[in-house]
């Protein structure tokens, strides 16, 4: 890769990192070279878009999945250009999305013409320091990358099984990460499967099992026993009412909930669907969240977050229909309760389960147990080398109530003293502590746009070519534009 006058290193090439790169490349005057560093072999996928299953649909309509909020038709046009025509309100397979992001980054490479100033390095970043020459990334293959500015887009981590179930995690029929490649492949079609959790991850696992011909019973157990709600089937042509969510004010969760309920009643009386209210609330969430004290934020997470997620993270209508059919045909069951302990890990797994519908805990026998508790925001609890190194160097601090990393309103990472970094930004789920709503593409693409603008300004302010080491130099390795194989879906 040519070394340019300045370099931007993006750590993590999932959807967030790819969206930041897409917005940086979109600025025609930008002369800066970008290096996207991704430890898994593919850009644009991360956890969400690495599935190859056609039954895993986006839970957001195509029109809202464009990389650019000011061009809602971008993704729909791309689908059509690849012979995958979809209407703006369709929920298309997630597997298309990673390819869409890759081809948005490297369109001309795909057509055989000169590549944009963007290279991919496939390695894990294990350390990041800032010396007189500027930031330097240390990779797990021993190489280093010098940069002017760095964007962290490393996402969330799969939640672990609760400590009470730690005895089961080494059992061969206990699946701790259902997204790991081939994780479900060993489950025989007639086995009884218990899913821990009943959110979108559980639905993903259920559908993947059905797709592979599973016939045995599947049970989902979660504290609330609720499935995600479904998207409206046909919003087209209908005027969506705008509930006055900007009027919501307060520093207590209880009062906000009361106001939201009143608003919901009023909006319902005016003919609005509850989904309109939830969608209208989304942009207000960061403001309301940051107005809560730490105790109130914890209260929200303990008592309300699960319910919010049920209404907020909805199933695509065809997915909801499939789940409905599996419930009606006696294959899929949802229970409110808790798995307390693993009593026996012999041939089958014997769990101790406390269901809300029963007075006493009882023994629950299952052939397979799958962790479907989804990704979580506590990224400093799991001994990740990069996060540990950043903490030890005082370059980051955990975000509010320990969620993600601390950032300011522009996405600049806060150091141990709470000062915003002049060269380190964070994007996506990493900013959940500050914003709460920071996981879906409609939110991430706006962050990506703002960060791209901020980085361009900062690089101009910093001046270029001031360091001895050529900025963007990858010592000992070359950052490569992706190969045709990488671009293929
Ligand atoms: C199953 C699922 C389905 C979803 N469906 C939708 C949807 O339909 N619509 C929607 O809007 N949102 C959806 N989301 C939410 C959203 O799109 C994701 O949260 C988003 O993809 C987050 O992207 P990310 O890049 O921040 O994180 P991730 O996807 O986790 O990607 C992070 C990347 O960083 C890499 N990485 C981590 N650490 C390092 C390191 N030290 N060095 C190098 N690389 C590193 C990882 O390998 C990974 O590729 C879904 C989320 C999930 C989990």
pLDDT digits (tens), the chain, 489 positions? 434 434 899 999 999 999 999 999 987 666 688 999 999 988 999 989 999 999 999 999 999 999 999 999 999 999 999 999 899 999 999 999 999 999 999 875 556 655 678 888 999 999 999 888 889 999 999 999 999 999 999 998 877 777 778 777 788 889 999 988 899 999 999 999 999 999 999 999 999 999 999 999 999 999 999 999 999 886 554 555 666 777 888 889 999 888 888 888 877 777 778 888 888 888 899 999 999 999 999 999 999 999 899 999 999 999 999 999 999 999 999 999 988 888 766 677 888 888 888 878 888 899 999 999 988 888 888 778 999 999 999 999 999 999 999 999 999 999 999 999 999 999 999 999 999 999 999 999 999 999 999 998 888 777 653 333 333 444 434 445 444 333 333
Residue of the nearest CA to atom 15 in ligand 1?
440
Domains 7-157+377-487 and 160-229+315-373 equal at CATH topology level: yes
Closest alpha carbon to 374 in 195, 170, 168, 126: 195
How far does the centroid of ligand 1 lie from the alpha carbon of residue 67, in Å? 14
The atom number, within ligand 1, closest to the CA of 374 reads: 53
Q: Best mutation site among 48, 125, 396 for ligand 1, i.e. most ligand atoms within 8 A of its Cβ?
A: 48
Q: Best mutation site among 35, 36, 47 for ligand 1, i.e. most ligand atoms within 8 A of its Cβ?
A: 47
Residue of the nearest CA to atom 45 in ligand 1?
12
59 lines ligand 1 (CB under 6 A): yes
| Cα 321 to Cα 324: distance, rounded to the nearest angstrom | 5
pLDDT for 239: 55
| Cα 453 to Cα 205: distance, rounded to the nearest angstrom | 39
Closest alpha carbon to 226 in 320, 316, 317, 306: 306
Domains in the chain: boundaries: 7-157+377-487, 160-229+315-373, 245-312
pLDDT for 6: 46
How far does the centroid of ligand 1 lie from the alpha carbon of residue 447, in Å? 15
276 lines ligand 1 (CB under 6 A): no
The atom number, within ligand 1, closest to the CA of 156 reads: 30
pLDDT for 112: 60
Closest alpha carbon to 145 in 168, 166, 121, 161: 121
Distances (CA, A) of 30 to 93, 134, 425: 33, 20, 18
Number of CB atoms found within 10 A of residue 244's CB: 10
Paired with 368 in beta bridges are 193
DSSP three-state, residue 152: strand
- CATH code for residues 160-229+315-373: 3.50.50.60
**How far is C-alpha 13 from the geometric centre of its chain's CA atoms?**
12
- Which run of H or E residues covers position 365? strand 362-366
Cα torsion through 311, 165, 156, 120, rounded to 10: -130
pLDDT for 476: 35
Fold of domain 7-157+377-487: FAD/NAD(P)-binding domain (3.50.50)
| Cα 1 to Cα 161: distance, rounded to the nearest angstrom | 43
**Cα Rg of the chain (Å, integer):** 23
pLDDT for 232: 85
The single residue listed with the structure tokens 């930008």 is 30
């Amino acid at each position: 890769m040519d070394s340019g006058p300045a370099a931007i290193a993006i750590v993590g090439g999932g959807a967030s990192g790819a969206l930041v790169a897409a917005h940086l490349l979109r600025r025609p005057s930008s002369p800066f070279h970008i290096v996207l560093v991704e430890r898994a072999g593919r850009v644009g996928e991360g956890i969400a878009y690495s599935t190859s299953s056609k039954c895993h649909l986006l839970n957001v309509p195509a029109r809202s999945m464009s990389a650019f909020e000011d061009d809602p038709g971008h993704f729909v046009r791309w689908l059509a250009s690849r012979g995958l025509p979809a209407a703006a309100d369709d929920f298309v397979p997630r597997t298309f999305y990673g390819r869409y992001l890759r081809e948005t980054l490297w369109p001309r490479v795909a057509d055989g013409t000169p590549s944009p100033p963007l290279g991919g390095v496939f390695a894990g970043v294990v350390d990041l320091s800032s010396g007189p020459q500027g930031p330097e990334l240390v990779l797990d293959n021993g190489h280093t990358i010098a940069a002017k500015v760095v964007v962290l887009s490393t996402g969330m981590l799969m939640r672990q099984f609760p400590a009470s179930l730690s005895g089961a995690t080494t059992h061969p029929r206990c699946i701790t990460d259902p997204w790991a490649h081939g994780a479900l492949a060993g489950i025989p079609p007639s086995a009884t499967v218990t899913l821990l959790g009943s959110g979108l991850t559980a639905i993903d696992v259920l559908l993947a099992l059905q797709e592979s011909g599973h016939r045995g019973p599947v049970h989902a157990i979660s504290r609330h026993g609720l499935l995600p709600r479904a998207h409206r089937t046909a919003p087209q042509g209908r005027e969506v009412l705008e509930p006055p969510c900007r009027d919501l004010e307060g520093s207590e969760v209880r009062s906000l909930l009361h106001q939201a309920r009143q608003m919901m009643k009023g909006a319902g009386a005016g003919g609005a669907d509850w989904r309109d209210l939830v969608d209208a609330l989304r942009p207000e969430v960061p403001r309301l969240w940051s107005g809560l004290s730490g105790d109130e934020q914890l209260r929200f997470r303990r008592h309300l977050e699960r319910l919010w997620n049920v209404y907020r993270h909805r199933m695509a209508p065809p997915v909801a229909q499939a789940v409905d059919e599996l419930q009606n045909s006696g294959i899929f069951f949802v229970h409110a309760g808790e798995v307390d302990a693993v009593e026996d890990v012999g041939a089958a797994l014997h769990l101790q389960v406390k269901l809300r519908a029963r007075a006493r805990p009882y023994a629950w026998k299952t052939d397979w147990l799958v962790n479907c508790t989804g990704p979580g925001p506590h990224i400093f609890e799991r001994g990740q080398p990069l996060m540990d190194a950043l903490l030890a160097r005082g370059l980051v601090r955990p975000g509010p109530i320990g969620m993600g990393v601390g950032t300011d309103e522009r996405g600049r990472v806060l150091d141990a003293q709470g000062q915003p970094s002049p060269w380190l930004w964070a994007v996506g789920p990493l900013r959940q502590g500050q914003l709460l709503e920071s996981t879906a593409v409609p939110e991430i693409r706006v962050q990506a746009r703002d960060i791209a603008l901020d980085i361009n300004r900062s690089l101009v302010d910093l001046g270029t070519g001031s360091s001895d080491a050529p900025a963007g130099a990858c010592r000992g390795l070359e950052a490569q534009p992706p190969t045709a194989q990488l671009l293929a879906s």
